[in-house]
Amino acid sequence: MSTQPATRPDRNELPVVQQIISVMWPSFITASAATILFFTLFDPTELGTIGGFPNLTRTGGYTIGFFCFWLLTSVSCAMTCYFRRPTHRPTETKPEA
Amino acid sequence: MSEPAAKAQEATIEQDLYKKREKIYPREVHGIFAALRILAMVVLLGLYYGLAWVNWDGHQAVLFDLPARKFYIFGLTFWPQDFFLLAMLLIVAAIALFMFTALAGRLWCGYACPQTVWTEIYMWFEQKIEGGSRKQKKRDAGPRDLAYYRVKATKHGVWLAFSLWTGFTFVGYFTPIRELWDAVLVWNLGPWETFWIFFYGFATYGNAGFMREQVCIYMCPYARFQSAMFDHDTLIISYDEKRGEPRGSRKRGKPSAEAGLGDCIDCSLCVQVCPVGIDIRDGLQYQCIGCAACIDVCDDVMDKMGYPRGLVKYTTENSLEGKPTKLIRPRILVYVGILSIITAAMVYVLATRIPLEINIIRDRNVLYTETNEGLVQNVYNLKVINMDQQAQRYNLSVSGLEGLEVIGPTEGIEVESGAVVDLPLRVQVDPIELKSSSTEIMFHIESVLTPELSVTEPARFLGPVLR
């Protein structure tokens, strides 16, 4: 038997709120930085014209760009969170007698 | 940190990790640092909400005009081409923060961080509407009656209104705020503006109303790494353990020596006022945002007891150990050095910046053509960008080959301030001058009135090579 009480969660398990924060928040920061860098180099209206959205306004372009970046970075953060979970847990053996 | 204190902290951290977060009801506090905090809050919030409405030279003083891809900061206009200046500015800000952290610990967190400032004003609203911390606690534990919902609805109403105003001001820094306000009045906002006002408003409402100290503890990267900048001479808020222990209650005015106790009367007020819910007497903790509420309240208690102030105070680790505190130390000198170099470079770049740019795009369809006269002709499209504050007239010339001739406007090209003018140009030359199939030629453009205002930009001239 484990010495820990049954109600106590695994050490590697963070509360749900913190798990959500650790995915959404770092990705938000990196997405913001990426958006600034990207749109400094590229004008969203020009990208829109090339991509077949001639009516795209700049503000719209920035917004869509930001959320695309956020989606990508949050996927990356989520995968990191997922992979850092231990894949194998040693099976608990009952002590003799 | 002492051994039992470390253990106690570890225990609370474990508790925090596994327990649902309980709302902290910090007790209101008065004193010199509370007054300073309020002053900082008023100044910073005043700047945030006010600066957006200030005009300068006929345009909004601070406007990061994203729709027009231009940043106005008072008399200066920045273009995407000036991005490296922004990068430098961010580096300066980061290093300045490191330096202030090494010197003054978490002064930033306690007084100037937006999270602290907005949390403070949201708590102020809360206390005005809901009453003090004890009243709030009682209400939250009490019955869910009409009075309860009325008070809560009022609070959230005020919070939401303030959040929306915050979101509106935020968007007002990116699109001209007066136009935005007119659009709000007739309810004719663009979809993206509406979205960002609500998005930012919602973020403010959540962070300042609900998340509060959790943002500092779980989300702030600075809170995690600031300890790396700390040394024994860094200003920290600390409880004087030698003086305070053993703690215990006693009659008012009774000297500690008589009671056989330290100066800490264990009134727990320092814990009650803490916005992050820690006990400063457990030693230096990463949750502590350095707001100094515990100093204010403890000084008050010491006054009442007739003990000297400063049981909890701003101090340094060296001073706590009875050693002198050094203000100037190698770490600080390095920060100052880096800061002055980058700042000087930035000022130099800004001062010598030429507010004029040309982009040259060669005609993509044809490499070159031959005219009836037998000349080789290349077609270019020039974009002349006037980044100056006033309209300018420019003269254009081309060099690099003998007898280059420009067909198109070359003299007195007028460009409004902040405007881009397209110049379709043909450049022709006798093929006898061409030494190779591709020659570098120079476009030179200069202001008629101030010839120092000039830019030279290379381009390629293509043509046949005659042997």
- What sign does the CA torsion over B182, B188, B191, B195 have? positive
- Give domain status of residue A97, yes or no: no
For β-strands B76-78 and B70-73, DSSP reports them as: antiparallel
pLDDT for position A92: 60
Q: Answer for the pair B209, B217: CB distance below 8 angstroms, yes or no.
A: no
pLDDT for position B167: 96
What tokens appear for B142 in the block? Answer: 């009490």
Is the pLDDT assigned to residue A3 strictly greater than 60?
A: no
Confidence bin at A6 (pLDDT 50/70/90): very low
Residue with tokens 């040259």: B360
Provide the number of CB pairs (under 8 Å) joining chain A to chain B: 40
- Give domain status of residue A58, yes or no: yes
> What does pTM read for this prediction?
0.80
- Give domain status of residue A6, yes or no: no
From edge to edge, which strands make up the β-sheet containing B392-399?
B413-415, B392-399, B438-447, B454-462
Q: Residue A40 and residue B83: Cβ atoms within 8 Å?
A: yes
Q: Does B18 touch chain A (CB under 8 A)?
A: yes
Q: Answer for the pair B192, B84: CB distance below 8 angstroms, yes or no.
A: no
Which residues between 72 and 91 in chain B have a beta carbon less than 8 angstroms from any beta carbon of chain A?
80, 83
Confidence bin at A78 (pLDDT 50/70/90): very high
pLDDT for position B467: 57
- Give domain status of residue A88, yes or no: no
pLDDT for position A54: 83
| B325 φ/ψ angles, rounded to the nearest 5 degrees | -95, 130
Q: Environment class of residue B380 by beta-carbon count within 10 Å: exposed (0-12), middle (13-18) or buried (19+)? A: buried
Look at residue B304 and give its three-state secondary structure.
Answer: helix
What tokens appear for B228 in the block? Answer: 């790396």
| A6 φ/ψ angles, rounded to the nearest 5 degrees | -65, -30
Number of residues that make up chain A: 97
pLDDT for position B202: 95
Spatial distance between the Cα atoms of B24 and B229, rounded to a whole number of angstroms: 29
Which among B21, B192, B218 has CB closest to A59? B192
Which among B20, B195, B221 has CB closest to A63? B195
Which residues between 41 and 70 in chain B have a beta carbon less than 8 angstroms from any beta carbon of chain A?
66-69
Our count of domains for chain A comes to 1
Q: Domains of chain B (ranges plus CATH)?
A: 31-78+113-229 (no CATH), 356-462 (2.60.40.10)
Confidence bin at A2 (pLDDT 50/70/90): very low
Which among A8, A21, A63 has CB closest to B218? A21
Number of Cβ within 10 Å of residue B176's Cβ equals 18
CA distance A22 to chain B (A): 8
List the one residue out of B270, B321, B316, B275 whose CA is nearest residue B297.
Answer: B270
Which one has a higher pLDDT value, A88 or B149?
B149
Domain containing A46 equals 16-83
Q: Could you tell me which residues come within 8 angstroms of residue A29 by beta carbon, excluding any fewer than 6 positions away? A: B221
Q: Could you tell me which residues come within 8 angstroms of residue A63 by beta carbon, excluding any fewer than 6 positions away? A: B192, B195, B196
What is the per-residue pLDDT across A7-49, written as a single tens digit (0 to 9) for each?
Answer: 444 555 677 777 888 898 899 999 999 998 899 888 888 888 8
- Give domain status of residue A92, yes or no: no
Look at residue B85 and give its three-state secondary structure.
Answer: helix
Tell me the C-alpha to C-alpha distance, in Å, between residue B350 and each of B46, B71, B88, B337. 28, 14, 11, 20
Chain A residues with CB inside 8 Å of B192's CB? 57, 59-60, 62-63
Taking chain B (467 residues) in runs of 10, the rounded mean pLDDT of each run is 52 52 82 93 96 90 88 85 84 90 88 93 93 90 92 95 96 93 91 93 93 86 84 90 87 82 90 90 88 92 90 90 86 93 91 86 85 90 86 90 86 85 90 86 90 89 79
Q: Residue A18 and residue B21: Cβ atoms within 8 Å?
A: no
- Give domain status of residue A28, yes or no: yes
Which among A17, A41, A58 has CB closest to B67? A58
